[in-house]
A = this chain, B = another copy of it.
């Protein structure tokens, strides 16, 4: 089988004609599909519907320490919620603060605090001429949006199957005092799905930052979001442990939430860090709020119970998600395999498949899909400043549509990839 580049001009023109006909047929179907965001499907959300019934007026409305969940109090989370989230992140409860309904909000606030107050008595970042963050790419658009809003300069760091390029990260972090942070999604990275290797986690934990207020923003959004192929879990080395071992315990903030365990819009979130970091956060938080929603914290604890039970719950999510990932991958394999016009990841968990098109094709592919009624994450979104220098990466989010729709969507996607690639190759002939 030939790759498309190996075809003659005439063969390509013939192929293009056929693809265009096919595309016009598809377009005429009036498809409406959204593969743009990593949203759980209604079927997944329904897995947690029992949580809605778990706290009623007949329930014990006190926490285990006798605190009334309906009243004020509990700045950093009720004990049992700390224990649940600590279990999920495999840290001690004293390393956990439980927050409101979104870890994004916690990450944003953590950076806002650093901007205004500094980090553990450092100079507030807003007083500095330049603050830089390292951004492993492709990455999560909402991380980049935070940096952009705060005027933090972002530096692209290439990623391979083991994680970000650690030579480059060490070079920046250990020498440039204006580098204050790095964004990481260490397990089932958004969008590549890769899991950082033990070696990479250890090198993160052993960074020797030039800036004492440098922090690793370890967004462990998919910490227990395995797809459970062959019923297997993927293991990520524990960053909090590794930092402690390295005598570097203040270097990391870890984030997670139950958004993709229970309800995306009504979950609970947590930040894990050293006691010194958390004490500082609590000091500022105590002025920002009296406490987060304890009713929802208790709802989560009574529903999810503990990490073991939560993992069993996550297996039910995996049952729903796996066929959707498989549908996309099987279409990509059969439609694009061997054509030399794209590569894609086969993630073992998380919410995304990352597709790399020929250079200069991603925007056109996304536009073609849109024209036919399918919304994808904007091309470039996976890069800082929405600028993918190669215009190659596209994030595919298979979670929301059903498997049949996903198959249809993947076919349309593959068709658009072929169409745009043929044009690209033709224009170079």
Contacts and interface: CB of A to CB of B under 8 A. Distances in A.
Contact of A296 (B37, B42, B293): B293
Interface string A240-275: 000000000000000000010001111000000000
Interface in A21-66: 37, 39-40, 42, 45, 48-50, 52-53, 55-57, 59, 61
Contacts of A289: 102, 104-105, 108
Contacts of A101: 100, 292-293
A375 interface: no
Given A50-B57, A126-B126, A104 B288 contact: yes
A264 B266 CA distance: 18
Contact of A266 (B40, B45, B57, B293): B293
A71 B263 CA distance: 6
Contacts of A56: 52-53
Given A52-B56, A126-B124, A145-B287, A70 B265 contact: yes
A116 B264 CA distance: 29
A381 to B, nearest CB: 14
A116 B104 CA distance: 18
A296 B157 CA distance: 40
A403 B148 CA distance: 54
A343 to B, nearest CB: 29
A72 interface: yes
A71 B39 contact: yes
A353 B397 CA distance: 56
A13 interface: no
B52 A59 contact: yes
Contacts of A112: 112, 116
Contact of A150 (B50, B71, B116, B259): B116
A72 B108 contact: no
A146 B289 CA distance: 10
A112 B111 CA distance: 12
A74 B149 contact: no
B71 A265 contact: yes
A39 B288 contact: no
A109 B263 CA distance: 25
A70 B266 contact: yes
B74 A265 contact: yes
B287 A142 contact: yes
Contact of A52 (B37, B57, B100): B57
Interface string A116-147: 11000000101100000000000000100110
A256 to B, nearest CB: 16
Given A101-B293, A287-B149, A45 B70 contact: yes
9 contacts: A72-B265, A101-B292, A102-B289, A104-B289, A108-B287, A115-B116, A149-B287, A265-B294, A266-B294
Given A112-B116, A265-B290, 9 more contacts: A45-B68, A52-B56, A52-B57, A53-B56, A70-B264, A72-B264, A124-B126, A266-B293, A266-B295
Shortest Cβ-Cβ A-B pairs, 4 listed: A49-B57, A266-B295, A70-B263, A45-B70
Interface of A: 37, 39-40, 42, 45, 48-50, 52-53, 55-57, 59, 61, 68-74, 100-102, 104-105, 108-109, 112, 115-117, 124, 126-127, 142, 145-146, 148-150, 259, 263-266, 284, 287-296
